[in-house]
Structure 1
Amino acid sequence: MRGLYEMDEWISGSRVVVTSLGAVTAHGAGVASLWEAVRNGHVAIGPIRGLRLDGFDAPIGGEVEALRRPKYDYLTRLGLRYPEPALDFALVAAEEAMSGAGVEVPSTRWGVSFGSCNGGIRSGEMALRRARERDTKPRDDRHLLMVPPHAMAEALSAAFGLRGPVLTVNTACASSAHALAHGVEIIRAGRADAMLVGGSDALTEMAYAGFGSVESLSARPAAPYSRSRDGLSLGEGSGMLVVVRADIAHAAGAPVLAEILSYGMSGDGYHATAPHPAGEGAARAIGSALSGAALSGADVAYINGHGTGTPKNDSAESNAVRAALGDAAQRVVLSSTKSMIGHLLGAAGAVEAIVTVKALQEQWAPPTAGFTGADPGCGLDAAPNEGRPLAMDVALSNNFAFAGANATVAYARPGTRPRPSAGFPVDDVVVTGVAVVSAAGTSVDELWRAYRAGRTLGRDEDGLRVARITDDLSRYTAPRERRRMDRFGQLAVATCRGALEQAGLDADERIGVVLGTGIGPIQSIGDFFLPVVAGGPAMANPAVFPNTVFNAAAGQVAMVLGAKGPTSTTTVGHSSGASAVTVAADLLRAGHAEAILCCAVDELSDYAIDAYRGLSLLVGRAGRDYLLAEGSITLLLERSSFARARGARILAGLGGYATASDAVGIGRWDRRGHGLERAMRGALGEAGVRADRLAAVWANAAGLRVADNPENRAIARLGLPGSCRVERPKRILGEPGGAGAQLCAALAMASWHNGFPYGPALVNSSSLGGTHTGLVLCPPIRESE
């Protein structure tokens, strides 16, 4: 097996460049419209026409008007009547970006990395409103297919035939900045040559109710960094970028707009909604972006700031810039695009990346519009009200989010920065801790015994088989820790704490959190929004709203356990846990952390069951063998050198991993299983393990024939030896949403000590829309060997 415990190679540091851009904002469709307006400080924030905001205190925002329909007709394919605005924004922006990419890359080497805060929640809101107005039970259920964030990534994959890795990130307002960082890492790791990266969000009633409930909205266009600022303005739209391996772009003669030098990520571990007042977490993200590109504060002339216009955020960001840049902060321009188009939530990072790239291209610092006078609590140069020429070779873009998720990306003008020298060795990734809370038990041993016994779990709930966790979660957290923490967060904290304890590790700034979830905090989303639908904005509960973002649970882990390293949350449907493993491993191999808590969690609230029941795919004869289960399972991943230096017990090595897309559309699979086969072979190839040397395949099969049959065909083509076991644990223990890969990994590691062959294991994981990930786990070398 290739390099499973070797450390004598060095990171190649493939350079990654931006070759094309696409945008949809309140300034209209197209990057040219966006840049011309932003360059001149034009404010597009005004009264909202497309939402019912009667009774709301701040019914203004950056609204997209009169957008044409995208060329990709997802409505006909799904049999739907009503478009999802956020998906339309993403597709139109992507059309612009892809048309100017300038490279020809094989479809299997081209992926998608997408970020969104609200996903297609507007489709859910509209379906709920339609049902309420007609006084009928909601049966507009197929529109719920548009709600999960990953539906948009899979639509983008299908629209452009991109069959490489597909990833969706939901870290609230930092989502598309994280998606950009992860997309860059996928290219640097050699798993793709080009990535379509970006994000999209539409204005929603829930966002207005939520930000209004925590008193964060301004009744006038936001005035970031100003003395008189009193809140943010919401906006909507999409930003998409094509990022390509530099040598491929240059060979093709593609336009090179900017180079992505590096990125930094961190978790505040401070508060569910407010940033650390001194900007400590944000400063670590900025500092990591600088050090990753061997930059000093003096190299940075311009920062496209997070700049929301809220009193706490703007001052905390200013403090973070001063802490990271030192004396050079007094010479940097820090301006806010949100002052002109509003806060685009999950799309903000991508759109602001586009503005940053254009600023580098044109050597122009765009202004902060609506500036009303300097605030000593901020005190940096905000380019008030008017942009100006600015010589710059390097620029940063900041995005910070609820739950303390921070991201900074560093860009350079083409040809102005020397190639950074490698600063760390390639290191293997190992598993040193695992913890479980599931319907089958609360330890790996209990999980193993339940699986081997073939015990039937759960019960029928109106056409769906459901296995729920009955364990008392309060025993895992103190009452003070549980204050305002929902059940989703409690599940995540419980297993992250257990994995740390097993590994004998205390969390700190070297330890990150990457969480995967298939359906997210749907209980909190329902608890927050349904009262608003029934009683208006006055019913919005500010204590519940912070838990409605998908990354809230990861933030709770950081706050309760102290894991303040890089944090991200993947939302790739039922393959979310596997995607979280790949993201965490990339961050570790790139030296961004020493260890990462890789948690996968999903709960089955009544809201979730209703949503699953509405999908005819899972009920009746087609899904009679399908069992839905709750679960939270955490793997503690570490750099091998860190684990060995502290004498940790290694449970497994992560030999290789790969992701591939069928690219056939939302809720569809390649019936022949070719996408999954590519993911399996890619993982085996990276691990240096031949298929005929596998000891076991832990399959994704969960009793859904339209997904299981393609997997069976793909496995049959691998050429497995007769001694290789093919295990299908979800057929017995249930499909635990996004935690399926962690379930199989835990069982694979247990199998080596319970009579199964002691050899490499392949773990399969697939979404319900044709995104597939393969993971290869290798047992540790025995002392006798």
Structure 2
Amino acid sequence: MRTNGTEDQRADGARARTDRSSGYAAAGCERVSVVSVGAITSQGPTAKDLWDGVVHGRVAIREVEHLDMSGFRTAIAGEVQAVPRLSDTIGYPAAASDRAYDFVLSAAEEAMGAVTASGVVDVRESIDPTRWGVVIGTCNAGLLSARSWYVGRREGRAVDPRVLTYVTPQAIAEAVAGVYGLQGPVLSLNTACAAGANALGHAADLIRWGQADAILAGGTDALSDVLVAGFNALESLSPRPAAPYSRNREGLSLGEGSGMVVLMRSDLAARFALPHIAEIAALGLSADGYHPTAPRPDGSGASRAIGAAVDAAAIGTAEVGYVNGHGTGTPKNDAAETLAMRRAFGADADDIAVSSTKSMIGHLLGAAGAVEAIVTARALAEQVVPPTANYGEVDPVCDLDYVPNDSRPMSASVAVSNNFAFGGANATLVLTDGTTTAPAVETAEQVVITGIGALSSAGEGIDAALDAVLHRRSTTVAVGDDRIGRVPFDPARIPAKVRRRMDRPAMLSLVTARAALDDAGIDVPADGGTTIDAERIGTVLGTGIGPMEAMEAFAAPLFDRGPTAASPAVFPNTVYNAATGQVCMNLGTVGPTTTVTTGHTAGGAAIVYAADLLGRGRADAMLAIGVDTLTDTVIDAYRDLGLTGARGYALSEAAVSLVLERSADARRRGAPILARLLGHAIASDGLGVARTDVTGAGVARAIRSALDAAGVAADEVVAVYSAASGVAAADRGEAAALADVFGATPPPIVDPQALLGVPMGVGPAVSVAVAAASWRRWDALGPTVILGDSGGGTHLALVIAPATGETAVSA
């Protein structure tokens, strides 16, 4: 590491390491700076190549070379031409490959290298690694890794099972963290085509909320035959490079690559004399609640995301000089986005320049928002608006200023980047040049749980799971050498018309979400009459493994019969946020919406994200959902990894939904308060994919940080809900952490997973729900710690407590 700094600068670095103890508000860190960027796209292997290409209107959408494109409507895409084999550095099996990893590692290397090169001191050394985080957005994650294992098995070939550890979105985030030894919050999000923007916005919020000082954030996705076949089946692909907003548009062009940025507290960036490229001022999220793939035609859903971002950034619409549009080139998307901008910007819409980067590099799916935010930041820094390439003829329904074909100068301090996705997930970023008035620091309010819905291997309702835990009754059954727990569920309980395009995760999510709203006394009927405004009810869903049932149902026929076998009905369910979208569509909850994919901590991470949004006034109620389901192939995958059987754990499925509200709001409407959320923390071991520190240092750090946030001393904790699964290394680390934090006599340990099975990403949500349900039966004594372990070195701790006062629920 570099140490060539002045004594004063090194002292600044030492002060930076201790700043975290003084609290976020004291540091004055409402501003978050973009200090470096990295990108690999069809324009070339660097962020400079990206900017040079798009600012000159160069179209890098060409014939694809590494995939057989026969049988598809098009043979072109924004393909990365020279792919660096960087996945070797993270222990990826040599016999396989996954471009999504090579891309993200390349972009991260550029972004992190730029930070080190531009600073006089080594910033990574000066900022405590426990205050460095990683947030990754992706749509397909390690799809190529999953494909190599699945196809190999079908063909009877031996495949290195380690490739399975690289399949999930969280594995990508943990791989990046491992390269740089980053030990702060390490998270992944999967809101399909909005994921990259969501990742950058959430990373900025984590810094604003004091949960990190610097975060390496962005997105990655790679082309595959499965992906192309899906969009081809939807008849969305253009035979020529996409022409967004133009009357002659024929559809979208796919692309691939990665964009990564280093975000930092602006005061620290200034202290280290780092470059100021732009600031991420705000993220706006919303749900369309309309259709699995098509946008709400009037643009109202997307306009709420834009409006939420503008409001959170505390800017006026007249200050916006440029919008990097979603601009896919499909007739419905471009028209709906135009209406969304007119709704959000009003009379100012006609004065705002809009352009689509996708016209030059294609649609990078989960990486699109990150790459386009990099372009937006550069546009602000250079005061140049890049063009919309391939623009031909004006379309009357797309009647804004789309900067056709040639870039132009601008004079503006604010720009916006839009990204909208399958499942109706909308994300908008507001970026500024740093000269605008900073928004006020958001103060978190008390968040409580007012409703629970659950399905587990114990049956329906959280009381079934609670009884199994209380009576030490296993709810899993022997299947060969394994023990498996399945949710008893009859799909026929959902009307045929509703369920016809829903997979099992969506059905379980919908049933538990509706039960949780009923439990909370919140009515969201189809006619629009609500207890709480539906536009103020958000949804955060956590899933560890995602839509594996739908993915196999879509992909298997392709491998047998080719592209013509692709099902346009099944393909929309292959995105991780499909279940989230179905909940919003069927319940009408269209507030801030996202999907977190943090491995076996996902259900807990959903609660944390929902509580953060709610506590800071972004919504009036939030649904926090955890869901994961089993297929025979999923069981085979865990078995191949040696995680089941005598030396592993019982594998199960579950769905849990919680309704969260601010305490004051719940009391105002007389809602029963089941539990209070006091504090939370996420920490990483920073060792890489599927690697856990057996000393338990990361677990202990998460527990201590959560207790600090809650204002609770270790000796006040009355119970700990364990994440122990039966895998010796991980369980050993947790035991060591508990001894470290609580001493030789820790509080009583509750172990739901030993009885209900390990429900993958739903585990922490089950524990929270079981604890809250127990407090319906008797008065509890005090704070309880809930633990979650991603399975790859990311650790979550939640501190919850029973209700107090006149709204408490007791037997």
What is the TM-score when the length of structure 2 is the normalising length? Answer: 0.92
Residue aligning to 1:20: 36
Residue aligning to 2:598: 572
2:135 partner amino acid: S
Change (3 A) 1:128 1:482: closer
User: Would the aligned equivalents of 1:693 and 1:721 in 2 still touch at CA under 8 Å?
Assistant: no
Residue 459 of structure 2 is aligned to residue 433 of structure 1: no
Runs (5+) with no aligned partner, structure 2: 1-24, 525-533
Residue 119 of structure 2 is aligned to residue 100 of structure 1: no
Residue aligning to 1:613: 639
Deviations 1:280-305 (A, max 9, x none): 11000001111112222211110000
Within-5 A mapping of 1:737-748: 737-748=760-771
Q: For 1:13 and 1:566, how far apart are their aligned partners in 2? A: 24
Deviates more, 1:264-273 or 1:434-443: 434-443
User: Would the aligned equivalents of 1:287 and 1:324 in 2 still touch at CA under 8 Å?
Assistant: yes
1:723 to partner: Cα distance:
7.8
Residue aligning to 2:438: 419
Change (3 A) 1:562 1:492: same
Within-5 A mapping of 1:156-305: 156-305=176-325
Deviations 1:52-96 (A, max 9, x none): 223222121011112223386123xx5442231101100110011
Q: Tell me the secondary structure at the aligned position of residue 53 of structure 1.
A: coil
Residue 474 of structure 2 is aligned to residue 460 of structure 1: no
Residue 657 of structure 2 is aligned to residue 599 of structure 1: no
- Which residue of 634, 647, 651 corresponds with 1:622? 647
Change (3 A) 1:705 1:324: same
Residue aligning to 2:528: none
Residue aligning to 1:666: 689
Deviations 1:442-480 (A, max 9, x none): 1122111111222222233343321111232432x3332
Q: For 1:661 and 1:53, how far apart are their aligned partners in 2? A: 40
Deviates more, 1:178-187 or 1:671-680: 178-187
User: Would the aligned equivalents of 2:45 and 2:82 in 1 still touch at CA under 8 Å?
Assistant: no
Q: For 2:578 and 2:687, how far apart are their aligned partners in 1? A: 32
User: Would the aligned equivalents of 1:510 and 1:594 in 2 still touch at CA under 8 Å?
Assistant: yes
User: Would the aligned equivalents of 1:691 and 1:720 in 2 still touch at CA under 8 Å?
Assistant: no
Q: For 1:723 and 1:681, how far apart are their aligned partners in 2? A: 14
1:44 partner amino acid: A
Q: For 1:361 and 1:265, how far apart are their aligned partners in 2? A: 25
- Which residue of 377, 388, 399 corresponds with 2:408? 388
Q: For 2:438 and 2:587, how far apart are their aligned partners in 1? A: 37
Q: For 2:676 and 2:475, how far apart are their aligned partners in 1? A: 31
Q: For 1:309 and 1:510, how far apart are their aligned partners in 2? A: 31
- Which residue of 448, 470, 474 corresponds with 2:492? 474
1:259 to partner: Cα distance:
1.2
Residue 145 of structure 2 is aligned to residue 123 of structure 1: yes
- Which residue of 89, 95, 102 corresponds with 1:88? 102
- Which residue of 424, 430, 438 corresponds with 1:410? 430
1:283 partner amino acid: S
Q: For 1:730 and 1:364, how far apart are their aligned partners in 2? A: 55
Q: For 2:746 and 2:736, how far apart are their aligned partners in 1? A: 19
Residue 756 of structure 2 is aligned to residue 730 of structure 1: no
Deviations 1:638-657 (A, max 9, x none): 12222222221111111000
Deviations 1:582-619 (A, max 9, x none): 11111112221111100000000122112212212x14
Q: For 1:156 and 1:441, how far apart are their aligned partners in 2? A: 39
Q: For 1:628 and 1:114, how far apart are their aligned partners in 2? A: 27
1:448 partner amino acid: L
- Which residue of 677, 681, 699 corresponds with 2:700? 677
Q: Tell me the secondary structure at the aligned position of residue 183 of structure 1.
A: helix
Q: For 1:510 and 1:474, how far apart are their aligned partners in 2? A: 31
Residue aligning to 1:312: 332
1:678 to partner: Cα distance:
0.5
User: Would the aligned equivalents of 2:598 and 2:605 in 1 still touch at CA under 8 Å?
Assistant: yes
1:142 to partner: Cα distance:
2.2
Q: For 1:604 and 1:82, how far apart are their aligned partners in 2? A: 25
Q: For 2:129 and 2:33, how far apart are their aligned partners in 1? A: 19
1:756 to partner: Cα distance:
7.7
Change (3 A) 1:378 1:572: same
User: Would the aligned equivalents of 1:41 and 1:385 in 2 still touch at CA under 8 Å?
Assistant: yes
Q: For 1:297 and 1:578, how far apart are their aligned partners in 2? A: 36
Change (3 A) 1:728 1:176: same
Deviates more, 1:592-601 or 1:10-19: 10-19
1:242 to partner: Cα distance:
0.5
Change (3 A) 1:635 1:13: farther
1:129 to partner: Cα distance:
4.4
User: Would the aligned equivalents of 2:29 and 2:266 in 1 still touch at CA under 8 Å?
Assistant: no
Residue 711 of structure 2 is aligned to residue 688 of structure 1: yes
Deviates more, 1:123-132 or 1:666-675: 123-132
What is the TM-score when the length of structure 1 is the normalising length? Answer: 0.95
Q: For 1:79 and 1:394, how far apart are their aligned partners in 2? A: 45
Deviations 1:517-545 (A, max 9, x none): 01111000000011011100100011101
Q: For 2:27 and 2:567, how far apart are their aligned partners in 1? A: 48
Runs (5+) with no aligned partner, structure 1: 1-8
User: Would the aligned equivalents of 2:142 and 2:167 in 1 still touch at CA under 8 Å?
Assistant: yes
1:649 partner amino acid: P
Q: For 2:382 and 2:30, how far apart are their aligned partners in 1? A: 26
Q: For 1:390 and 1:236, how far apart are their aligned partners in 2? A: 29
- Which residue of 76, 95, 103 corresponds with 1:60? 76
User: Would the aligned equivalents of 1:182 and 1:583 in 2 still touch at CA under 8 Å?
Assistant: no
- Which residue of 54, 57, 61 corresponds with 1:41? 57
Q: Tell me the secondary structure at the aligned position of residue 796 of structure 2.
A: strand
**Count of residues paired in the alignment:** 767
Residue aligning to 1:113: 135
Change (3 A) 1:619 1:362: same
Q: Tell me the secondary structure at the aligned position of residue 88 of structure 1.
A: helix
User: Would the aligned equivalents of 1:139 and 1:614 in 2 still touch at CA under 8 Å?
Assistant: no
User: Would the aligned equivalents of 1:283 and 1:320 in 2 still touch at CA under 8 Å?
Assistant: yes
Q: For 1:613 and 1:784, how far apart are their aligned partners in 2? A: 46
1:489 partner amino acid: A
Q: For 2:161 and 2:198, how far apart are their aligned partners in 1? A: 31
Q: Tell me the secondary structure at the aligned position of residue 28 of structure 1.
A: coil
Q: For 2:779 and 2:445, how far apart are their aligned partners in 1? A: 28
Change (3 A) 1:79 1:144: same
1:750 to partner: Cα distance:
2.6
User: Would the aligned equivalents of 1:11 and 1:425 in 2 still touch at CA under 8 Å?
Assistant: no
User: Would the aligned equivalents of 2:459 and 2:488 in 1 still touch at CA under 8 Å?
Assistant: no
Aligned-residue CA RMSD (Å) = 1.8
1:754 to partner: Cα distance:
4.5
Q: For 2:224 and 2:792, how far apart are their aligned partners in 1? A: 25
User: Would the aligned equivalents of 2:543 and 2:761 in 1 still touch at CA under 8 Å?
Assistant: yes
Q: Tell me the secondary structure at the aligned position of residue 663 of structure 1.
A: coil
User: Would the aligned equivalents of 1:694 and 1:720 in 2 still touch at CA under 8 Å?
Assistant: no
Q: For 1:18 and 1:11, how far apart are their aligned partners in 2? A: 18
Q: For 2:796 and 2:151, how far apart are their aligned partners in 1? A: 37
Q: For 2:504 and 2:727, how far apart are their aligned partners in 1? A: 28
User: Would the aligned equivalents of 1:261 and 1:411 in 2 still touch at CA under 8 Å?
Assistant: yes
Change (3 A) 1:700 1:782: same
Q: For 1:143 and 1:613, how far apart are their aligned partners in 2? A: 13
